[in-house]
Structure 1
Amino acid sequence: MALLFDELTIRSLTLRNRVVMSPMTRAASPGGVPGPRVAEYYRRRAEGGTGLIITEGVAIDHPSSVDHTDVPRMHGPAALDGWREVVDGVHAAGGRIIPQLWHVGPLWGVMQGGGSTPMRPSGLWGTPGVTAYPPGIVEELIRPTRTMTDDDIHAVIEAYRAAARGAVAAGFDGIAIHGAHGYLLDAFLWADTNRRDDRWGGDAARRAAFPAAVVRAIRAEIGDELPIIFRFSQHKQQDYKAALARTPDELAELLVPLVDAGVDVLDASSRRFHQPAFEHSDRSLAGWAKTLTGAHTMAVGSFGLGASLREAHAGATRSTTDHRLELERRLGKEEFDLIAIGRLHLADPNLARILRDGASLPEFDREAHELAFR
C-alpha cells in the first residue's frame, strides 16, 4: 500500500497520506455546539494516522439548513469556539481537518422536522424509488412545496459564504461542500428535482449554475490558498437507483462548471468505490470525474465492507471484505487520488496505521460501532 502513503499537496494543504475519514452524521453536538466528546472523536482518528478528516455535515446559518438540533453548526460564537478545540486537537495529532458544509434542501423533515419550509428548486422532493425511508415518511415528504425564489437562492449562497468565513476563523484547512444524495445542491443538479426554466435550471449547464455560484462565493471568501472539496453522487436518498448523469458527457456538463468555479477535489460518493459508473468501462465514478475535469478526485463507498450502507440499514450488521488490492490497482493507474473511508474508521480509529502496516482490517459491526459512536 505504498501509494496510499504518498503525500499529496492541494493548494496550501499537504496531506501525509491519501487516507481520508469520510463525513458521517452523528447528531452529537447538543444545541449545535461541538463539545469535548466531538473533539476527542476526531482527534483519535488523527492520532491513528488518518491524513485528512472531513467532518460530519455542518449546518450553515439558514432556517431550513438542517432539521436536527444536535447536528453541529458553523455559526455563532459557542459553535465556532467548539470547532477551534476540535481543530486544535487534530492539528496537535498531526492531522488535517475540513468541515463539510450542509443544507438538506428537499430532505428537510427526515430527522426531526420543524416549522420551516423545505428549500426545493421546483417544490419537488424527487420521484420515489428504492429508498431506506419508510412509506409513511415518503408520503409526507413528497407533498409539493413552493419553488425557491431568487431571494431564497441568494440567501443560501450568502449563508454558505458566511459559514466558510467562520470555518477559516476556526482554523480549518479547507472547505468541503455536500452536493450529493438528494440534498439541496444536488437537487439543483438533478433533472428530476430541478424543472426550472430560468437561469438556475434547464440544461445541465444551468442546473449546475447554483452549486457553481455557491463554490464561487466560498472561493471569493476564503481566497486562493485553501482547497475546496465538493461531494457529488449518482444515487439519491429518494432513489438509490437514480442517476445524476446517464453518460460521461452529461457528467462533464455538470462537473466542469464546479471545477471552473474553484473546486479542487471532486468527492465521488458511490455505494461501492470501485463500481463502474457507466457501461463498457470498469472506471469508477471518481475515475470518470478525474478524466473529465482534470481535478483531483476522491473515491468513497463501502471500502472494506461486504454490505453497502443501504444493506446495513436493512439489517446486515457484520461484514468485512478486503479491498486493498483493488484500491492499490486503481491508485497505481492514477484513476483517483484519495480514498475516503467511513465505517471502518468507526470500527478502529487506528485504521490508517492498520493499512500502513498491512494488518488485518477491523470488522465493522453496525450495532457495536455505528449505533454507539455518538
Structure 2
Amino acid sequence: MFRPLAIRDLEIRNRVWVPPLCQYSVTARDGVPTDWHLVHLGSFAAGGAGLVIAEATAVNPVGRISDHDTGIWNDEQVAAWRRITRFIRSQGAASGIQLAHAGRKASVWPEPMRRPGSQPLDEGGWQTVSASPTAFEGYREPVALDEAGIRAVIEDFRRAARHAVEAQFDLVEVHAAHGYLVHQFLSPLSNRRDDAWGGDLGGRARLLLEIVRAVRAEIGERMPLFVRFSATDWVDGGWDEAQTATVARWAHEAGADFFDISTGGLVADARITTGPGYQVPHAERVRESGGVAVSAVGRITSPAHADELVASGRVDAVMFGKAMMRDPHFAMRAAHELGADTSMWPAQYLRARPQYNDGEW
C-alpha cells in the first residue's frame, strides 16, 4: 500500500486513498464548500493519505442530492475549492473531485434534517430528472430527459471538468455509481428508453462514454480521469459485473484511466450481504475481465488486509471511508503497523511519531 502509483503525469505517494464522503454541510445552500470541507478533507491529507477525493459534487443545481451539497458550476465555488486543493497539496497528498448528478435521487432532505422521501417543491425541493420517468422507491417521480436535456447534462460535466482544473484538483472522477444519474442510464432496471440512449448495453452506456470524452477533452492528456461504478445492483436482471467490465473497457478507450469499484444504490430493497471486504471480489473481477486498474472499497479496516489486497495484485489501491472518518491519521498508523515508510508525517507532529521499537501506536 505504501508504494507510489503513477497515473499519467500524476504520482500518488501511496495507495491509501479517501473516497468521496458526502457531508451535507453547505448550510448556505449555494454549493460553495466551507471551512468544514477544508478541515475534513485537509485532515486526511495531513494524516498521510495518498489521494483525497472530495464528495459527490454537483455539476448543476438540480444534480445535487440535497440542497446542502457542494457544487462546481460557478466561479465562487471554484475559488473555495482552490483554497482546499492548495492545502491538500501542501501536505503531499493528491486531490480529486467526484463530478456528480443525482438524477432521480436528487432533492432529498440533507443528512442533518433527514426525513423520508423527496424534499417538497414548496420547501426548497425541485423537479428531478432521469433516464425514464420511474421513481426511486419513496421519492418524487422524475422527468425523463429528452435529447436536449441529455446534451445539456454532458455539457454540464464538461464545464465542471474545466472548473476542476481551475480549482487545481489533481484528478477528476465521474460518478456512475450508487443509483445516481449515470448509473440510472446504465442499468436496465431504471433505463426503459427505446432511443439511442437506451436499449442494449451500447445505448445505455452512451451517456457515460459521452461524458468521459467531454471531460477528457477539457482536462487534457496529463490529468487522470477516474470513473466510479457500482459493479452490481444486487438484483437479478440488473446491472452486473460483466456489464461493468465491458463498459469500463469502453470508458478506458474513451479516455478514463482508473475505476473505483463499489456496488448497489439503484434499488432500495436490494439484499446485500456485507462483511469485511465484501466488495473486493467485484473489483477484482472487473480488473480481470475489463483489463483495467481498480480500487476496492467497503468495510476494509485492517492495514494488513488492505496491504495483502494490493500486494497480491487483486486491486491497485484501497479506498478507506468510515475508517478514515474514525481516524483521519489512519494512513500514518497503517504505515507504522506495516513497518512502511512514515515520511508522510507532518513536521508539526514529528514529536509524536512512534519508533518501530516503541511497541504500541
Query: Do they fold alike, i.e. is TM over 0.5?
Result: yes
2:229–2:244 Cα contact (<8 Å) kept: no
Tell me the SS of whatever aligns to 2:198: coil
Query: Residue 330 in 1 paired to residue 340 in 2?
Result: no
State the shift of 1:58 in Å.
0.7
State the shift of 1:146 in Å.
3.1
Tell me the SS of whatever aligns to 2:151: helix
Give the structure 1 partner of residue 209 of structure 2: 212
State the shift of 1:326 in Å.
3.3
Give the structure 1 partner of residue 84 of structure 2: 86
State the shift of 1:289 in Å.
1.6
Q: In the alignment, which of 6, 14, 17 is matched to residue 17 of structure 1? A: 14
Give the structure 1 partner of residue 71 of structure 2: 73
Judged with a 3 Å threshold, the aligned counterparts in structure 2 of structure 1 residues 40 and 327 are, in CA distance, closer, same or farther, namely closer
Tell me the SS of whatever aligns to 1:162: helix
Aligned positions of 1:90-105 closer than 5 A? 90-105=88-103
Please tell me the residue identity of whatever aligns with 2:251: L
Q: In the alignment, which of 328, 336, 345 is matched to residue 349 of structure 1? A: 328
Aligned positions of 1:300-315 closer than 5 A? 300-304=297-301
- Tell which deviates more after alignment, 52-61 or 38-47: 38-47
2:232–2:239 Cα contact (<8 Å) kept: no
2:65–2:105 Cα contact (<8 Å) kept: no
Give the structure 1 partner of residue 359 of structure 2: none
Query: Residue 267 in 1 paired to residue 260 in 2?
Result: yes
| Aligned equivalents of 1:159, 1:328: Cα separation in 2 | 38
Aligned positions of 1:187-198 closer than 5 A? 187-198=184-195
Give the structure 2 partner of residue 116 of structure 1: 126
Judged with a 3 Å threshold, the aligned counterparts in structure 2 of structure 1 residues 67 and 44 are, in CA distance, closer, same or farther, namely closer
Judged with a 3 Å threshold, the aligned counterparts in structure 2 of structure 1 residues 272 and 221 are, in CA distance, closer, same or farther, namely farther
Give the structure 2 partner of residue 339 of structure 1: 318
TM-score normalised by L of structure 2: 0.81
Unaligned 5+ segments in structure 1 are: 129-137, 277-282, 305-322, 360-374
Tell me the SS of whatever aligns to 2:178: coil
Q: In the alignment, which of 243, 249, 273 is matched to residue 250 of structure 1? A: 243
State the shift of 1:263 in Å.
1.2
Give the structure 1 partner of residue 44 of structure 2: 45
Give the structure 1 partner of residue 347 of structure 2: none
State the shift of 1:37 in Å.
2.8
State the shift of 1:39 in Å.
1.3
State the shift of 1:275 in Å.
2.8
TM-score normalised by L of structure 1: 0.79
Tell me the SS of whatever aligns to 1:101: strand
State the shift of 1:235 in Å.
5.0
Give the structure 2 partner of residue 56 of structure 1: 55
State the shift of 1:74 in Å.
0.6
1:50–1:95 Cα contact (<8 Å) kept: yes
Tell me the SS of whatever aligns to 2:295: strand
| Aligned equivalents of 1:249, 1:110: Cα separation in 2 | 31
2:32–2:70 Cα contact (<8 Å) kept: yes
1:189–1:254 Cα contact (<8 Å) kept: no
State the shift of 1:302 in Å.
1.4
| Aligned equivalents of 1:53, 1:245: Cα separation in 2 | 28
Give the structure 2 partner of residue 365 of structure 1: none
State the shift of 1:8 in Å.
0.2
| Aligned equivalents of 2:243, 2:54: Cα separation in 1 | 30
State the shift of 1:255 in Å.
2.3
Judged with a 3 Å threshold, the aligned counterparts in structure 2 of structure 1 residues 341 and 272 are, in CA distance, closer, same or farther, namely farther
| Aligned equivalents of 1:146, 1:169: Cα separation in 2 | 32
State the shift of 1:124 in Å.
1.3
| Aligned equivalents of 1:244, 1:260: Cα separation in 2 | 24
| Aligned equivalents of 2:19, 2:54: Cα separation in 1 | 7
| Aligned equivalents of 2:318, 2:10: Cα separation in 1 | 17
State the shift of 1:203 in Å.
1.2
Q: 1:216-256: per-residue Cα shift (whole Å, max 9, x none)?
A: 100011111101111111455xxx6577544x543333322
| Aligned equivalents of 1:65, 1:12: Cα separation in 2 | 30
| Aligned equivalents of 2:242, 2:97: Cα separation in 1 | 30
| Aligned equivalents of 2:243, 2:58: Cα separation in 1 | 30
| Aligned equivalents of 1:76, 1:251: Cα separation in 2 | 32
Aligned positions of 1:174-185 closer than 5 A? 174-185=171-182
